[in-house]
Amino acid sequence: MAVYIYEQLFQFTERVFKSIGCSDVDALKATEVLLSADLRGIDSHGVARLSGYIRLWQAKRINAVPNMRIIHETPSTAVIDGDAGLGLVVAPFAMQVAIDKAKAVGTGWVSVQNSNHFGIAGYHAMMALKEEMIGIAMTNASALVAPTFSTEKMLGTNPIAVAIPAGEQPPFVADFATTTAANGKLEILQRKNEDTPVGWVQDQDGNTSTDANILKKKGALLPLGSDREHGSHKGYALGSIVDIFSAVLSGASYGPWAPPFPAYIPMPENMPGKGLGHFFGALRIDAFRPASDFKQHMDQWINRFRNATPAAGYEKVLIPGDPEREMELIRMQLGIPLVDAVVNDLQETGAIFNIHL
Amino acid sequence: MAVYIYEQLFQFTERVFKSIGCSDVDALKATEVLLSADLRGIDSHGVARLSGYIRLWQAKRINAVPNMRIIHETPSTAVIDGDAGLGLVVAPFAMQVAIDKAKAVGTGWVSVQNSNHFGIAGYHAMMALKEEMIGIAMTNASALVAPTFSTEKMLGTNPIAVAIPAGEQPPFVADFATTTAANGKLEILQRKNEDTPVGWVQDQDGNTSTDANILKKKGALLPLGSDREHGSHKGYALGSIVDIFSAVLSGASYGPWAPPFPAYIPMPENMPGKGLGHFFGALRIDAFRPASDFKQHMDQWINRFRNATPAAGYEKVLIPGDPEREMELIRMQLGIPLVDAVVNDLQETGAIFNIHL
């Protein structure tokens, strides 16, 4: 374990993205998006993934100089072809289109085809906050999740993020995988050689498992709810909605055909669309009521929930976004800790381009 | 237990609504919405609730002749004041506004204040299907759910419905409470004098409970995910998003201040808004891609998921909406079974207006 200051990781990552041919603007944006995950404590989606993006570029599955463009639109909607660009660049471009449409007609909704992994959904949703808008971001991903009653991996962890501005209070920012546990949590247990709790994963026959390595043995992650009795059909429905909004609306590849993140896995056969899909929404607050009224009531909402009676052993009730915001303050000041495996991985990636961490 | 044909229940219910002063059009619509729950097998939200609506009218909390109106709008958004009307009437009115806006600018988004319980969310979302649109409906409700780490009931079961059209396949229709189990499932166990599974409810101290009557003993329903380890913070976030979109955006009463459904419970003090809130969305398919392309891919999506490898003991994987659609076919043909308590309740309600079931 070593700790790196944000600026150091930023410069390193930016140079790597420039080395694969990204423009200065794109390299800066991709770095900002990627590192927002490390700052917010979602370590699985930050620099730990840099080598994965580079391998996708080496495999010619990522285009460093994409011609991103709107291929269909109405006053409140657009579909964007990401031209196989880095999702880290395509997603902010698409979210900006949603924001611009919201400025014009109240809300904007953008579905994206032909993209790749876009980092954390929360970054993109939060772009709306400074515009006094609610932001929504979601994406499909390669299949790791079995629907209720199935043993077959059909859906990605398909996250949803919703960012809602407040007044004096910090914003409400929910950002979560539509599974009981995100894949990153399994990876942490794998490194520690520990079991998962019951309800996170199942084995190849659909039986309960606590093996953190079960995905490599034809097992699957479970939808939020874990099993039918505890509402897994709801998590399955949520993951499906994300898949359909992101990929069927846009013309991306959906369900078990979503392209894999690891470059060594062959692309699925008979893909029904292009690349990964995302979906973004922006809702202008004053398209519903004066922003000052809304913010005052959001402050009251947040205060009331934060002061709800805590259960024994807990100090207070959290508002979605609290833990990540606190982590960001700490890591901006004290640096970002990286496990040795990630440091080695970054150094090997840098070495390809003669860049030292 | 007795079985009633749909038409008989329809005529009875319609006459009751007319008796409280609803117009012919409103009585017809309210009946259609209410009974859609019985047809689809969501018995807790159908005629079993008729007496509850009538008691709210007697308590002057429901206005049978509301002046529903748009109080704020942009090309893609509106806020509607339901004028304390039956949610069963206000909601279809608001969803129609969302659909009309989608016709004009691609999508329509409507937040509603000053309403009441609107029946099943799925009915309203499904209004979009015949327009070749995706429909979304959600509502807040009186507080029965404790946030993660809390013992205090702060949120309703706050359902979300999403209806997505297909081509030759039936539509995808998800309609679910953002809790592990809906309150109606507790009521069924109460009648049978049975315990709940672990993970549905907690007691007044926040400890796990299996007492189906725990809500009457200061206990609470749990958010989807059940506990922190299984993602209850995600269910809590989802329920919160429904509350904020439905009530903070519109100016309705939110969180623990949401008005109660039972008329004998006093209204909360210092309510921050008017009545219950709802939120509706309509997205025109061809605002994203040609409807024929979308439908063809939705058919492929549905076929692929329906044919995913089933786990041992299961015949096939279900698509959201499958069980309710099958139930509707059965009940239209064979009638709607009502438990004796509901029959007695309907007869007592009818007697007020000299109407016989």
Cβ of B224 within 8 Å of Cβ of A234? The answer is yes
Query: CB B72: neighbour CB atoms within 10 A?
Result: 17
Please spell the DSSP secondary structure of B211-247, one letter per residue: -TTGGGGT-EEPBTTSSGGGTHHHHHHHHHHHHIIII
Give residue B187's pLDDT. 87
* Chain A residues touching residue B109 (CB < 8 angstroms): 106-107, 283
Per-residue pLDDT at A45 exceeds 90: yes
pLDDT mean over A252-280: 97
- Percentage of chain B beyond pLDDT 90 is 97
Q: Do A233 and B300 touch (CB under 8 A)?
A: no
* Residue A213: exposure state from Cβ atoms within 10 A (0-12, 13-18, ≥19): middle
Partners of residue A75 in chain B, C-beta under 8 Å: 75-76, 105-106
- How many C-beta neighbours within 10 Å does residue B211 have? 17
All residues of chain B having their beta carbon less than 8 Å from the beta carbon of residue A201 are none
Pairs of residues, one from chain A and one from chain B, whose beta carbons lie less than 8 Å apart: 255
Q: Would the CB atoms of A287 and B77 count as touching at under 8 Å?
A: yes
Chain B neighbors of A312, CB-CB under 8 A:
205-206
Give the pLDDT confidence of A59-95 residue by residue, as tens digits.
999 999 999 999 999 999 999 999 999 999 999 999 9
Would you call B308 and A76 a contact, using CB atoms and an 8 Å cutoff? no
Query: Which runs of E-coded beta strand occur in chain B?
Result: 2-4, 69-74, 77-81, 107-115, 133-139, 160-164, 172-176, 201-202, 208-209, 220-221, 276-284, 336-338
> Cβ B76–A76 below 8 Å, yes or no?
yes
Mean pLDDT (whole number) for B262-285: 97
**pLDDT tier for residue A290 given thresholds of 50, 70 and 90:** very high
Predicted local distance difference test score (pLDDT) of residue B196: 96
Q: What is the pTM of this model?
A: 0.98
Higher pLDDT, B182 or A231: A231
* C-alpha–C-alpha distance, residues B283 and A38, integer Å: 35
Burial classification of residue B296, based on how many CB atoms lie within 10 Å of its CB (0-12 exposed, 13-18 middle, 19 or more buried): middle
Which residue type, as a one-letter code, is found at position A272?
P
Chain B: residue nearest A146 by CA?
Answer: B308
Per the structure block, which two tokens stand in for B347?
């007869």
- How far is it, in rounded angstroms, from Cα A227 to Cα A123? 30
Does residue A184 carry a pLDDT above 90? no
> What pLDDT digit, counting tens, does each position of B172-218 carry?
999 999 999 988 889 889 988 999 999 999 999 999 999 999 999 99
The amino acid sitting at B17 is F
Q: Are strands B276-284 and B107-115 parallel, antiparallel or unpaired?
A: antiparallel
Span A181-221 CATH architecture: 2-Layer Sandwich (3.30)
pLDDT at B339: 93
CB contact under 8 A, B79 and A288: yes
Share of chain A above pLDDT 70, in %: 100
Band of residue A140 on the pLDDT scale cut at 50, 70, 90: very high
What is the separation of C-alpha B75 from the centre of its chain, rounded to a whole number of angstroms?
27
Q: Which chain B residues are Cβ-neighbours of A304 within 8 angstroms?
A: 154, 255-256
Residues contacting B288, CB < 8 A, separation 6+: A72, A77, A79, A111, A249, A250, B294
pLDDT tens readout for residues B6-61: 999 999 999 999 999 999 999 999 999 999 999 999 999 999 999 999 999 999 99
- DSSP line for A200-226: SEE-TTS-EE--TTGGGGT-EEPBTTS
| Residue A11 in tokens | 């410069």
Of B34, B35, B40, B6, nearest to B174 by C-alpha is: B40
Compute, in degrees rounded to 10, the torsion defined by CA atoms B341, B153, B229, A330: 160
Q: How far is A89 from chain B (nearest CA, A)?
A: 21
Inter-helix orientation angle A50-58/A340-352, to 10°: 30
pLDDT of residue A187: 87
CA distances from B83 to B47, B64, B70, B116, B184 (A): 23, 10, 11, 10, 28
Q: Which run of H or E residues covers position A242?
A: helix A232-243
| pLDDT class of A191 with cuts at 50, 70, 90 | confident
The pLDDT tens digits of the residues spanning A320-345 come to: 999 999 999 999 999 999 999 999 99
H/E stretch holding A337 reads: strand A336-338
User: How high is the pLDDT of residue A52?
Assistant: 97
pLDDT for position A198 = 96
The answer to whether A177 touches A138, Cβ cutoff 8 Å, is no
Instruction: Report d(CA B117, CA B260) in Å as an integer.
Output: 10
Whether B115 shows a pLDDT value over 90: the answer reads: yes
Interchain CB distance below 8 Å, B224 and A226: no
pLDDT in tens, A193-229: 999 999 999 999 999 999 999 999 999 999 999 999 9
Instruction: State the nearest Cα–Cα gap between B13 and chain A, in angstroms.
Output: 31
Return the amino acid letter for A11.
Q
Question: Does A250 sit within 8 Å of B294, measured CB to CB?
Answer: no
Residue B114 CA to residue B249 CA, distance in Å, equals 12
Type of residue at B224: L
Domain ranges of chain A: 181-221
CATH classification for the domain delimited by B66-180+222-320, as one of 3.40.50.2300, 2.60.40.420, 3.80.30.20, 3.30.1370.60: 3.30.1370.60
Average pLDDT over residues A172-190: 93
CB A80 within 8 A of CB A97: yes
Q: Considering only CB atoms, which chain A residues are within 8 Å of B200?
A: 230
Task: Show the tokens assigned to A116.
Answer: 């790749």
Residues in contact with A173: Cβ distance below 8 Å, sequence separation at least 6, in sequence order = A122, A125, A126, A161, A162, A163, A164, A320, A321, A324, A325
> Residue A157: is its pLDDT beyond 90?
yes
A chain contacts of residue B238, beta-carbon cutoff 8 Å: 174, 238
- Closest to B237 in 3D by CA, of A160, A291, A185: A160
Could you tell me the two tokens for B218? 């200061």
Angle at B120 between CA B300 and CA B161, to 5 degrees: 40
**Residues B310/A152, Cβ–Cβ less than 8 Å:** no
**Separation of alpha carbons B43 and B346, rounded Å:** 14
Contact residues, chain B, for A301 at CB < 8 Å: 243-244, 248, 254-255
Tokens of A23: 């423009």
Identify whether the C-beta of residue B231 lies closer than 8 Å to the C-beta of residue A176. Answer: yes
> What are the backbone dihedrals phi and psi of residue B71, each rounded to the nearest 5 degrees, phi first?
-110, -5
Q: What is the mean pLDDT of residues A307-325?
A: 96
Handedness of CA A100, A105, A106, A107 (dihedral sign): negative
What mean pLDDT comes out for the span B241-251? 98
The ipTM assigned to this model is 0.98
Question: Which pLDDT value is given to residue B191?
Answer: 84
The whole-angstrom distance between A49's CA and the closest CA on chain B is: 24
Q: Give the mean model confidence (pLDDT) for residues B274-294.
A: 98
Whether residue A197 and residue B76 make contact (CB cut-off 8 A), yes or no, is: no
User: Are A106 and B235 within 8 A, CB to CB?
Assistant: no
Q: In b/e form, how buried is each residue of B316-346, taking b as 16+ CB within 10 angstroms?
A: ebbbbbbebbebbeebeeebbebeeebbebb
Phi/psi zone of residue B159: left (φ > 0), alpha (ψ -120 to 50 degrees), beta?
A: beta
**Across-strand partners of A4?**
A336
Asked whether the beta carbons of residue A107 and residue B109 sit closer than 8 angstroms, the reply is yes
Query: Under an 8 A CB cutoff, do A174 and B237 touch?
Result: yes
Say yes or no for a CB contact (<8 Å) between B241 and A176.
Answer: no
Comparing CA positions, the residue from B125, B139, B231, B162 lying closest to residue A244 is: B162
Average pLDDT over residues A109-133: 98
Cα distance from A20 to chain B (closest Cα, Å)?
32
Q: How large is the average pLDDT for residues B257-268?
A: 96
CA atoms within 13 A of residue A59's CA, in its CB half-sphere: 17
Q: Which pLDDT does position B188 carry in this prediction?
A: 86
CA atoms of A22 and A353, how far apart (whole Å) = 14
Third-level CATH fold of B1-63+342-357:
Hypothetical Oxidoreductase Yiak; Chain: A, domain 1 (1.10.1530)
Q: CA–CA separation, A152 vs B311, rounded Å?
A: 8
Residue A65 neighbours by CB under 8 Å, 6+ apart? A21, A22, A23
Nearest CA in chain B to A231: B180
Q: At what angle do helices B322-334 and B24-40 cross, to 10 degrees?
A: 110
